[in-house]
Structure 1
Amino acid sequence: MTTSAVPANPPVDSPAGPAPVPADAAPAPALTDRLDGLDRLVRAGAGRLDRPLLDEAGALLERAGQRLKLSGEHTVVTLAGGTGSGKSSLFNAICGLELSPPGMRRPMTSKAHACVWGLDGAGPLLDWLDVDKKHRFARAGAADRADGSLQGLVLIDLPDHDSIQAMHRAEVDRFVTVADLLVWVVDPQKYADASLHRNYIVPFARHTGVTLIVLNQVDRLGPGEIDDCVADLRRLLEAEGLADPRIVTSSAVAEDGVTGFREVLVDTVAARRARTERLSTDIDRVAERFAEHRLDAEPPVTIDDGRRAELVQAFGDAAGAPAVAEAMESAYELRAADFIDWPVTTLVTRLRSDPLRRMRLTELREELRGAFTGPVGAQQGDVDVALHGVAEGVAAELPVHWARSVRMAARSHAAEIPEALGESLRAALPSFNQVPRWWWLVKTWQYFLALVAALGTVWIAVLIAYGVMDAAAPGPLGDAGLIPYIAVLVLCTLGMGRLTTSACRNLVALSSAKHGDRMEDAMREGIARVAREKVIEPIEADLRAYADFRRDVDVALGG
C-alpha cells in the first residue's frame, strides 16, 4: 500500500469547508433536544445556582455547538499516555509512517501531531482543534484512498501527560475535553501510574463508552503474563468506577501487533457515533449535577388561597386599612353634619363657648375631614414581616438554591410596597367634593324651614310692634289675631328641623357603616392587587421557572 505524508501545508487546510454530513453521521434529534434542555437549565440557573456549574455547562454548550457544526464524517481519536508508554510508536504504526518522534527521552512529543484519513472537511475541524499546520499529516496516496477502512479518522498523538512542561500537560487537558474517542496508552510497568489515574481515569470514569485503554508493549511479556496484566488492569479500572472498560493489547514492534487496536478504530470510524456518544456522556455528567438541585416531590406553581389571604391581611394591617375605614366613617358623619344639621342649632352652637376652640384644637375637625385625601403609607418593618411569612411558607417545599431564589423574588419589590399600598388606599378613598344628592336636598329643606321660622318670627315681631304702638297694620296679614297661628307655624318648623336632623343622622349612621365597609372592601381590593403584582406574581414566576427547570433536567438527562 502506498502512502504519502504532507508535513507542512497539507491539503487538509484547503478552504473547502466542512463536507455535508451524511444521514448516518448526523446528530440524533435527541442530542439537540438535550442540548436545548441544558441551555434552558443554564438560563434558569443564572443568579440562582453556583457559578462554576453554570460556567461548565456554558463551556460544554459552546464546545458541543462548535463540534456539531464541524465535519460529522470525521472521528477525532486522541492517543494520550505517559513518557515511555510507546504512544508515538503506536501512532506511527497505525499511520504507517514515522510522523511522531518516538523515544524514552522526556518529553519527545512536544506538540500534538494529527494524521487524517479523508481530507474533505478536515481543515476546519483541525483549525478548531488548534493543531499546528506543521504537525498535520494526511494519508492521501492512491492505496490509502482505495483502503477506506479508516476513512474519516483523525488520529492525534498528544504530549506526555506527565511531562515536566506545564504547557504539555495543558495541551493534554485541552484535547481530552474535545476528543470523540479517548485512548489511554499504558505499558506493563506503569499502567497503575497514580497521576494518570488520579488526573484522568477517575475524572473521566463515566466516559467508558468513549474510552479505550491500550496496554502497549506486550511484546515484553510472556503469553501468561499478558492475561494476568490485563486482568489486574481491568480490576484497577473497575475499582475506579469504569464499568466494563474496553482494553486491547498492542505492540508497535511485533508483527500484527496493532491489529486489535486498528480493528477498534475501524469499527469506531465506521459507526460514526463517537462524536454524539462523547457529547451525550458530557451532557449526562453536567445534567446530573443540575439534578442535585431539584427535589423529587412535585413543586407548587401557585400561591394557595390561604397564603394569599394571609398576605393581604398582613398588608392591610400594615397599611392600617381597618383604622382608615373606621376613620372614614367618622369623616363621613362629620361631612354629613355640614349638610343635614339644623341651621338654627348650628348657629346656637357657634355662639356658645366651644371647648375645642378654647383648647385651640378646632383644626382637628378639618384635619379629620381631610386626613385621607393625601398619601397614606405602610411601615416597612410590617411589610418585611409579611414578606418573610409568605416566602418561608413556599420556600420550605423547595431545594436550597430555589428557596433562596423565592425569598429574593418575594423581596424584589419590597422597597416599593409601602408607597404602593398608600397609593392603593388613596385611590379607594372618595373625593369629599362630591356628596350624595339627598344631602343637598336635606340642606335645602333645612334652610327652607329655617327661613320659614325666621319669617314667622319677624312677622310676629312686626305684629307685636304694631300692637304696642296701637297702630293699625296694613292689610289682612296685620291682624294681631294671627300671632298664635304664626307662633304654631314657627314652632312646627323648628320641630320639623330638629326631627329632620335626628332622622337624617340615623340615616347617615347607617350609610356611614355601609360606606366604611365599601371603603374597606375597595382598599382590600387595592391591597390584593399590590400583593399580587409586587409579591405573588414574582414568586409564582420563580415557581414556574423551577417547574420548568425540573422538566429540563429530565430532557437534558435524555429522559
Structure 2
Amino acid sequence: MSRHSQVRSASRLQERLDSLNTARELAAGVLADAQLEAVYDVLDRAASRRSLSTGHTVVGFFGATGSGKSSLFNAVSGSNLATAAARRPTTSAPLAAVWGEEGSGPLLDWLDVRDRHALPEVADFAGGEAGLILLDLPDIDSTTVENRQLVERLAGMVDVLVWVLDPQKYADAAVHHGFLRPMATHGAVTLVVLNQMDKLNAADGNAVVDSLRGILEQDGLAGVPVFGTSAVTGDGVAAVRGAIRNVVVQREAATQRLSADVARAASGLAEVSGDGEAHGVSSQAKAHLVAELATAANVPLVVHAVERSFKRQSARRTGWPVTRWLLRFRPDPLRRLNLGRDDAKPELNRTSLPPAGAPGRARTDAAVRAFVDDASAGAPGPWRAAIRGVARDGREQLPDALDQAIAGTDLKASRRPLWWALFNAFQWLALLLAVGGLAWLGVVAALGYFQLPTPEVPRTEGWPWPTLMVAGGVLFGVVLALGGRMLGAGAARVRAKGASRRLQAAVGLVAEEHIVEPVEVEITRLKAFNAALKAARGG
C-alpha cells in the first residue's frame, strides 16, 4: 500500500477515534459506567499502539489444546522456538519471534512479552523494510486462570489474529462463542487455519473446511480466509506464510485492527443506548406547558387582582370627592397579594399568593410530564430517562421560581392615566360649583333670618342661580363618577390583558430556564451522540 494511502487510512482512523471519544463523553451520566469504561480502554489502547512502532506488525497465534498451534508456529517461522518454549518452567509466558528487531522493544514491552527471539529473514516471508512479530500464546482453553486472562488480553492488543483449529474440535462452542463470535468485527485482521489436515483424506478434509466456513459465517466472519495445513507434512504452511507476509507488506494491519476495535466499541455503545432520535420541543407543547404552569402559579388570580385594583384606583381618582374617601377602607387586591408596590425589590420580595395545594402540584407535574413525553418521543430508553431526569430536577425548583417571577413582573400598577387627572379636576370644579351654590343660598337664608335686606337672586328660566349651581355641581359630579367608572372598567380590562401577557412571558422564561432548555440540551446531546456514534462506526 502506498504511503499516501497509509496516511489517509491513519487520518480516517483518527477521525473515528475522535468521534468515539466524543460519543463516550456525551454519554457520560446516561449510559452505564462499565460500558463507557470499556470504550475508554479501547481509546487508551489505540493511543498506546499508535505511539509505538508502526513498522512492525504483531501476529498472534491462538489455539486450543491439541490444535498443533505451537507446531504450526514453528513451521511458519522456520524455527523450533515453540518447542523450546514448551520445555520452559513458565508455560504461561508468551513467546515472540521477531524479524526486524530495531524498534520492536517498546512495542513488546507494551505487550508485556518478555521472551523475545530475533530471527533471520526467511525467504518469501518477512523481508524488506517491514518488521514482523509472531507470538505463540498459551492455549485458549487452558484451565489456568492466568493463562486465559493473558490470552484474552493479547487478543485485544495484537494486530492480526491467527486462529488455529483442528479437525476434532473446530466446531467447539467455547472457541466460537468465547472468542471468534465476539470478534466478528475484526474479520479484516483475522486468519483461520485448520491444522492437522494430514489426519483426513481429501474428501473429508474438504467437507470439514466447508463446515468450518459455514460456522464462521454464523459467527459473523463470512469471507475470512481459511487455510488447511499440516505442520507435520508442511502442506499449506507456505500459504499461511504468504498471507502473513502480504499483511506485513501492506502495513495496514494495525490501523485495520484499531478500526475494528472502534467499530466494536461503537456497536457496544449503540446496543446499550438504543436507536432513535427525540421528537424535540414543539411550539405547541411549549405553549401548553406555559399555560398550565401559569394556571398552577395563580396567574389568573393575579390578573383578576390587577383589574380590580385598577377599578378601585380609578374610582378613587375619578369618583365624587364627597364619597370617594370611603374607598380607603377597602383593601387594594394587589397589596393583599404583596404585589404592585413601588418600593418592592423583586429579588427579595415574595408574593402572598396561596401555596399550591395537591391539585395544583398534580397539575404542574402532569404538565411537565406531558411536555417531556412529547419532546422525548422516539428517543431510546436511557436517553428518555435522562431527559425526564433533568425535567424532574427543574420541576423541583418551579414553585419558588414562579413566585419570584410573578413578584418581579412589572404590573404597571403605579402608572396613572392622564384622564384620571382630567376627571379629578372636573370633579373638584363640580364640587366647588355645588359648594359655591350652597354658600350663596346660605348667605341669602341668613340675611332673611336676620330680617336684613336681601339682594335679588339672578334667575334663569325661573330657577335661582344658587340652586342651579348646587344641582348642576352635584349632577355633574355624579355623571363624571359614572363615566369614570365605565371608562375605568374598560381600561381595567386592557390593563389586565397587558398584565396577563407580561405574567405569561415571565412564566415562559421560568419554564424555558428550568424545563425547556435543560430538555433541549439533552435532546441536542442525544443528536450529537448519534452523529458521533455513526461517524465512529464508519457511517
Displacement of 1:220: 4.8
Displacement of 1:33: 2.3
The residue number in structure 1 matching 2:93 is 111
Gaps of 5+ in 1: 1-20, 351-361, 473-477
- The answer on 1:76 being equivalent to 2:58 is yes
Greater mean alpha carbon deviation, residues 173-182 or residues 313-322: 313-322
Sort the Cα spacing of 1:485 and 1:151 in 2 relative to 1 into closer, same or farther, 3 A: closer
The separation in 2 between residues aligned to 1:190 and 1:392, in whole angstroms, is: 53
- The answer on 1:196 being equivalent to 2:162 is no
Greater mean alpha carbon deviation, residues 521-530 or residues 286-295: 286-295
Q: Which amino acid aligns with 2:183?
A: F
The residue number in structure 1 matching 2:190 is 211
The residue number in structure 2 matching 1:475 is none
The residue number in structure 2 matching 1:446 is 427
Q: Which amino acid aligns with 1:63?
A: R
- The answer on 1:269 being equivalent to 2:253 is no
- The answer on 1:121 being equivalent to 2:99 is no
The residue number in structure 2 matching 1:180 is 159
Aligned mate of 1:89, from 71, 91, 98: 71
Greater mean alpha carbon deviation, residues 102-111 or residues 324-333: 102-111
Displacement of 1:96: 4.1
Gaps of 5+ in 2: 340-349
- The answer on 1:34 being equivalent to 2:19 is no
The separation in 2 between residues aligned to 1:550 and 1:558, in whole angstroms, is: 12
The residue number in structure 2 matching 1:65 is 47
- The answer on 1:382 being equivalent to 2:353 is no
The residue number in structure 1 matching 2:498 is 518
The residue number in structure 1 matching 2:478 is 498
The separation in 2 between residues aligned to 1:143 and 1:100, in whole angstroms, is: 17
Aligned mate of 1:48, from 30, 50, 57: 30
Displacement of 1:413: 1.1
Where do 1:332-411 residues align within 5 Å? Answer: 332-346=310-324, 365-367=331-333, 369-371=335-337, 373=339, 375=351, 376=353, 379-411=360-392
- The answer on 1:488 being equivalent to 2:454 is no
Where do 1:286-297 residues align within 5 Å? Answer: 286-292=265-271, 293=273, 295=275
Sort the Cα spacing of 1:44 and 1:195 in 2 relative to 1 into closer, same or farther, 3 A: same
Sort the Cα spacing of 1:95 and 1:436 in 2 relative to 1 into closer, same or farther, 3 A: same
The separation in 1 between residues aligned to 2:83 and 2:92, in whole angstroms, is: 10
On the 8 A contact 1:150/1:266 being kept in 2, the answer is no
The residue number in structure 1 matching 2:81 is 99
Displacement of 1:108: 6.6
The separation in 2 between residues aligned to 1:199 and 1:260, in whole angstroms, is: 27
Where do 1:226-375 residues align within 5 Å? Answer: 226-254=205-233, 258-292=237-271, 293=273, 295=275, 300-301=279-280, 303-346=281-324, 365-367=331-333, 369-371=335-337, 373=339, 375=351
Sort the Cα spacing of 1:406 and 1:364 in 2 relative to 1 into closer, same or farther, 3 A: farther
1:365 partner SS: coil
Q: What percentage of residue pairs aligned between the two structures are identical?
A: 34
The residue number in structure 2 matching 1:427 is 408
Displacement of 1:52: 3.7
Displacement of 1:130: 2.0
The residue number in structure 2 matching 1:3 is none
TM-score (norm: length of structure 2): 0.84
Displacement of 1:407: 2.4
The separation in 2 between residues aligned to 1:226 and 1:209, in whole angstroms, is: 25
Sort the Cα spacing of 1:225 and 1:513 in 2 relative to 1 into closer, same or farther, 3 A: closer
The separation in 2 between residues aligned to 1:77 and 1:460, in whole angstroms, is: 126
Displacement of 1:329: 0.9
Displacement of 1:117: 1.6
On the 8 A contact 1:457/1:490 being kept in 2, the answer is yes
Aligned mate of 2:526, from 525, 539, 546: 546
1:202 partner SS: helix
1:179-229 deviation digits (Å, cap 9, x = unpaired): 111112233444344432332123223433222222334455555654454
On the 8 A contact 1:340/1:504 being kept in 2, the answer is yes
Displacement of 1:263: 1.2
Aligned mate of 2:395, from 414, 425, 436: 414
1:428 partner SS: coil
On the 8 A contact 2:309/2:333 being kept in 1, the answer is no
Displacement of 1:29: 2.9
Greater mean alpha carbon deviation, residues 456-465 or residues 498-507: 456-465
The residue number in structure 2 matching 1:17 is none
On the 8 A contact 1:107/1:160 being kept in 2, the answer is no
The separation in 2 between residues aligned to 1:287 and 1:307, in whole angstroms, is: 34
On the 8 A contact 1:291/1:553 being kept in 2, the answer is yes
The separation in 1 between residues aligned to 2:36 and 2:92, in whole angstroms, is: 33
1:75 partner SS: strand
Sort the Cα spacing of 1:511 and 1:228 in 2 relative to 1 into closer, same or farther, 3 A: closer
Sort the Cα spacing of 1:231 and 1:392 in 2 relative to 1 into closer, same or farther, 3 A: closer
TM-score (norm: length of structure 1): 0.82
The residue number in structure 2 matching 1:355 is none
Q: CA RMSD in A?
A: 3.3
Displacement of 1:481: 3.6
Displacement of 1:327: 2.4
